[in-house]
Amino acid sequence: MSLEIKVPTVGESITEVTIGQWFKKDGDFVEMDEVICELESDKATFELTAEAAGILKIKAGEGDTLEIGEVICEIDSSASAGESASDDTKKEESQPVSNKGGKTGEIKDMIVPTVGESITEVTLANWLKADGDFVELDEIIAEVDSDKATFELPAEATGILRHVAQEGDTLEIGGLICKIEVTEGGAPEQEEATSNGGSQAASTSVSGKDTYATGHASPAAAKILSEKGMDAKGIQGTGKDGRITKEDAERAQVAAKETPKAESKPTPKTEATAPSSAPKIAGSRDTKREKMTSLRRTISRRLVAVKNETAMLTTFNEVNMGPIMEMRKKYKDQFKEKHGVNLGFMSFFTKAVCVALQEWPAVNAQIDGNEIVYNHFCDISIAVSAPKGLVVPVIRNAESMSFDQIEKEVVRLALKARDNKLSIEEMTGGTFTLTNGGIFGSMMSTPIINAPQSAILGMHNIVERPMAVNGEVKILPMMYLALSYDHRVIDGRESVSFLVRVKQLLEAPERLLFGV
């Protein structure tokens, strides 16, 4: 019995996942509850386990994006551990070969499927199969783009593909995108050439008669030709039925470079000669193209939405970090000995922000429809640069935590982010965000709000600068602070007063201990 394994529900707001890595190969025997692959969403990474023991049949490859509920693989639970997919293949090969496939006369119309409630049209981004190609049922034949995501279009039947829409065309939901001439028993011979015992097929190949594949470039070859501005016409294909392969396109490219230009008649020299052409400099001009991950697409979409949908602006101030640095130097060894964690800057900033948020609640608020929600707690989001992109884990009720509790939570979340092990719960919520670009050397920036929050505080690097103190010039370790906020919720008075209060608490950290 074959058991279908579908993409599980991994979070309320997650509608699709990307296959990050297969740990098992197609045809491998897997045990029940064994981890078979890794799935990536726009928020976290998950492991998919086998729901039964048997032979694995992979339906989607690494990098494919699947919606929740789609089939990702199948497990043949009737197979034993000693069997493999190759055994089944051998059995099939040992049986006498049946008749070659042929057309049934049925035409399958494929229309643009419904891909989301608010999506009314899509754009045909890329044909993965050429017009006239033989396609299998559920084989990916094209990619379509909507205003929210990119989707893969699988074949709804086995047969010969006939394009109706072209790349770049915009189609409404339900519009005709292609047709499939349904076949049975595999790929048909060259246009029914097997009707006379195969003699016509032989004569066709000998006489050089063209088929639907002749002169058509494969997807890889078409990409090379398109990038170099070359036409497929005039290129002799060496693939099946005369198809232009990737190697043909590369050879044609080299030949075009090596073909000398037609010699022109020498022109007599004149006093006013034309300027010489730019010198040719030897060097590599290679490029690399990678598909955006689901996480990167989500980050891009959200950041652009924040810029377009909020009245965002930034106010700045500077802080003398000397008092905090002196306090850390004095107590860091005792702190680590007692609590087992280093005393960093993040705990000082988190405590200072929590105090200021409680005094200026508008900075800790957010818009919900036509209402403003004021939060009486401080869930502080910490922006962390993870290997696969920016993530923002949350420290819950930071206003009630001590310095050592904050430092331990920061270390725990940072380690999980580095290993891509953060859960959905650890990254949802948050009322205010801290981001530290200073660890990368940033002197000044204007951070973008982490929606639906209304403000974010940017920390920067510490630089020794000459400052005027009581009429004297002193060299002090200074840091620029940047508060980006949504002017729809926060007025200038609240934003500036909040930042001044944070500066006051950081320059006199003993205030955090006494609550003044």
Q: Which pairing describes strands 432-436 and 380-382: parallel, antiparallel, or unpaired?
A: parallel
Q: What angle do CA 279, 284, 286 make, to 5 degrees?
A: 125
For residues 366 and 431, the answer to whether their CB atoms sit within 8 Å is yes
d(C-alpha 373, C-alpha 122), whole Å: 36
Question: How many other C-beta atoms can be found within 10 angstroms of the C-beta atom of residue 260?
Answer: 5
d(C-alpha 333, C-alpha 45), whole Å: 37
Active-site annotation holds for 138: no
Note if the bond before 268 is cis, omega within 30 degrees: no
- Count the residues in the chain: 516
3-state secondary structure of 421: coil
* In 200-300, beta strands by DSSP E: none
Active-site annotation holds for 216: no
DSSP class of residue 188 equals B
Q: Which two tokens stand for residue 158?
A: 């086995």
d(C-alpha 505, C-alpha 479), whole Å: 14
Instruction: State the angle between helix axes of 492-507 and 345-359 in degrees (0 to 180), rounded to the nearest 10.
Output: 140
Q: Which two tokens stand for residue 371?
A: 């209402």
Of the candidates 33, 109, 333, 491, the residue annotated as catalytic is 491
Please list, in sequence order, all residues whose beta carbon lies within 8 angstroms of the beta carbon of residue 452, skipping any fewer than 6 positions away. 366, 367, 368
Of the candidates 169, 231, 419, 487, the residue annotated as catalytic is 487
3-state secondary structure of 45: strand
Please list, in sequence order, all residues whose beta carbon lies within 8 angstroms of the beta carbon of residue 18, skipping any fewer than 6 positions away. 39, 40, 41, 63, 64, 65, 66, 293, 294
d(C-alpha 61, C-alpha 19), whole Å: 7
Q: Which two tokens stand for residue 215?
A: 């002169």
Give the dihedral sign, CA 304/306/308/313.
negative
Phi, psi (degrees; rounded to nearest 5) at 408:
-65, -40
Instruction: State the angle between helix axes of 403-418 and 322-339 in degrees (0 to 180), rounded to the nearest 10.
Output: 80
Active site positions, annotated? 487, 491
